[in-house]
Amino acid sequence: MGLWRTGAALVCAIVMLIGCSAIGGETDSEQGTTGSGSTPEALPVTADQLMNAWIPSVCRHEAGHLVDGVLPVEDERKGSANIAGVGGGKRPAIVIGDVTGDGVDDGVVDIVCNAGGVGWPSTLVLYTNGSEYLGSVHRSDIVDNPGRGPVDELTIEDRWISFSWYGPKTPSEPACCPTQYLKARLMYDGTELVVADIQLDRLKDRDELYGG
């Protein structure tokens, strides 16, 4: 018994010196732990993912997932919603770039919609981490009379989302045929999209088709 107690004491002394995990136990590396909680890296957004992404409610249509760029609706007589350009023979209005500042690509789409055949102003929708919804801005929330349909230019540069569109120059100008060129920028502040730099450019105004 005395020898056993002496041997046990020696083992305990060795364990104190080199650590218990080295004798019969797993080390941190074997358990897959790092000792500090690391945040998983975000996944880059791709255009293919956004063709089937979730979108918020637009034109009184319920929120839902796109299918090849189009929101399925039960009754097509009540209108439609889709990524601008889809179904019209044009390139889908999708842009990819870093908006959140983490160095990983995010994505923005321009959603056009109508309610019973009447077109509404488009909605810009921001995604991150694959196709995770991050926020949206209706053009009707930017200016009082934004005109109908999609934006004309849409880009991402230095974390800014820049876009332009045509809106009615006067209250009497038909919403179908706006002539006033406007542009604005969006920045994601970590919580929501913030609108900035709303500008006019008279040199890019269109000629009136109808009396306004």
User: For 179-205, what is each residue's pLDDT tens digit?
Assistant: 999 999 999 999 999 999 999 999 999
pLDDT of residue 208 exceeding 60 = yes
In a domain, 210, yes or no: no
Per the CB < 8 A criterion, the answer to whether 188 and 176 are in contact is: no
pLDDT of residue 175 exceeding 90 = no
Residues 115, 75: Cα–Cα separation, whole Å: 11
Residues 65, 51: Cα–Cα separation, whole Å: 9
Confidence of residue 6 (pLDDT cuts 50, 70, 90): very low
Residue range 93-152, pLDDT digits in tens: 999 999 999 999 999 999 999 998 889 999 999 999 999 999 999 999 999 888 898 999
pLDDT of residue 210 exceeding 70 = no
> How many residues are there in the chain?
212
Which pLDDT value is given to residue 61? 94
In a domain, 86, yes or no: yes
In a domain, 22, yes or no: no
- Residue 80: strand pairing partners: 114
In a domain, 56, yes or no: yes
Which pLDDT value is given to residue 182? 95
**Degrees, nearest 5: CA angle 21-22-28:** 50
Per the CB < 8 A criterion, the answer to whether 147 and 163 are in contact is: no
Which pLDDT value is given to residue 33? 38
Of residues 122, 123, 184, 185, the one with CA closest to residue 148: 122
**pTM given for the model:** 0.79
pLDDT of residue 172 exceeding 70 = yes
Which pLDDT value is given to residue 39? 65
Give the domain extent around 173: 47-204
In a domain, 159, yes or no: yes
Confidence of residue 1 (pLDDT cuts 50, 70, 90): very low
Confidence of residue 176 (pLDDT cuts 50, 70, 90): confident
Please give the tally of structural domains in the chain: 1
In a domain, 176, yes or no: yes
- Residue 136: strand pairing partners: 125
Strand-by-strand arrangement of the 160-167 sheet? 153-157, 160-167, 180-188, 193-200
What's the N-to-C CA distance of the chain in angstroms? 107
In a domain, 126, yes or no: yes
Q: Token pair of 107, please?
A: 């994505």
In a domain, 31, yes or no: no
Collapsing DSSP to helix, strand or coil, 151 comes out as coil
pLDDT of residue 47 exceeding 90 = yes
Collapsing DSSP to helix, strand or coil, 23 comes out as coil
